[in-house]
């Protein structure tokens, strides 16, 4: 919105040349006639039938988050602050080069663009009812013990499970299960997970305590995948 034709035309030309679809209005009244709501407004503060600052406040009062870049010939700091406090996203003082305004339009749109949705990290999915497990969508062929270990570990990512807990939850108390037995089942489970694409650190050894399952991202960031291969040797227990 700009009432000085020369400025309006040069801005319009510069924006169109960069591929923007534009609509110019020299007055409030003309702006209200336009049907399509713009993606961004370049707003002159001094218009024949009103003050651009009032329009800005009106937009913000209606919770319209349309980005606004304010144009003004007045270089007074107070006007700049007033426009920014009124919800302007940027401020350009006249005289300006149309190219500068185009660059600011791009910058504001870039800043307000929603961040690209992150790819979900692959992870272990355990369906206890169906006794099925998959990693990143790939089905895992697990033995009964491996399945129960995976189910327990995946219940709480990051939590360390002790050997005693594994015995109680997987075999049942009273069974004489050696550390070696647990280690070998974990090792086999870990191999099946990495074969399905999991990082080597997906099941982490916590020395002297037991094992924990890392989130996919955490395991991938682990800079020492070999750590995952060692077993919590019983002689190193606290």
Which residues contact Ca ion by CB under 5 A? 3, 44, 46
Q: Is the dihedral of CA 200, 206, 212, 214 positive or negative?
A: negative
Q: How far is the CB of 75 from Ca ion (least distance, A)?
A: 14
Half-sphere exposure at residue 95, Cβ-oriented, CA atoms within 13 angstroms: 3
Closest CB to Ca ion among residues 90, 148: 90
Q: How far apart are the first and last CA of the chain?
A: 73
Closer to Ca ion by Cβ: residue 3 or 148: 3
Q: How far is the CB of 4 from Ca ion (least distance, A)?
A: 6
Alpha helices in the chain (DSSP H): 5-17, 28-33, 52-61, 77-85, 98-112, 144-155, 163-166, 179-195, 216-221
Rounded least distance, CB 46 to Ca ion, Å: 4
Of 94 and 212, nearer to Ca ion (C-beta) is 94
Nearer to Ca ion, 25 or 133 (CB): 25
Task: Considering the complex, state which of residue 46 and residue 209 has its C-beta at the smaller distance from Ca ion.
Answer: 46
Q: How far is the CB of 122 from Ca ion (least distance, A)?
A: 56
Given the complex with Ca ion, which of 5 and 217 has the nearer CB atom? 5
Nearest residue to Ca ion by CB is: 46
Residue 22 CA to residue 177 CA, distance in Å, equals 74
Q: For the residues of 121-158, what is the DSSP string, one character each?
A: PP-EEEETTTTEEEETTEEE---HHHHHHHHHHHHSTT
Q: Cβ 109 to Ca ion, closest distance in Å?
A: 24
Q: How far is CA 17 from CA 21, 69, 131, in A?
A: 9, 19, 61
**Cβ 96 to Ca ion shortest distance, Å:** 13
């Amino acid at each position: 919105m700009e009432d000085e034709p020369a400025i309006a035309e040069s801005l319009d030309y510069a924006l169109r040349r960069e591929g923007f679809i534009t609509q110019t209005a020299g007055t409030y009244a003309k702006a209200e006639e336009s049907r399509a709501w713009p993606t961004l407004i370049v707003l002159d503060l001094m218009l024949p039938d009103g003050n651009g600052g009032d329009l800005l406040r009106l937009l913000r009062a209606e919770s319209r988050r349309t980005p606004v870049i304010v144009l003004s010939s007045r270089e007074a700091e107070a006007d700049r602050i007033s426009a920014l406090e009124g919800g302007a996203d940027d401020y350009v003082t006249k005289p300006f080069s149309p190219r500068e305004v185009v660059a600011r339009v791009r910058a504001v749109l870039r800043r307000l663009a929603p961040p690209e949705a992150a790819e979900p990290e692959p992870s272990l999915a355990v369906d206890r009812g169906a006794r099925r497990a998959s990693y990143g969508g790939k089905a895992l062929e697990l033995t009964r013990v491996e399945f129960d270990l995976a189910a327990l570990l995946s219940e709480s990512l990051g939590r360390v499970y002790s050997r005693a807990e594994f015995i109680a939850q997987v075999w049942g108390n009273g069974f004489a299960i050696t550390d070696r037995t647990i280690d070998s089942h974990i090792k086999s489970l870990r191999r099946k997970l990495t074969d399905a694409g999991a990082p080597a650190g997906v099941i982490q050894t916590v020395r002297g305590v037991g094992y924990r399952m890392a989130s996919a991202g955490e395991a991938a960031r682990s800079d020492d995948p070999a750590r995952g291969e060692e077993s919590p040797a019983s002689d190193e227990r606290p």
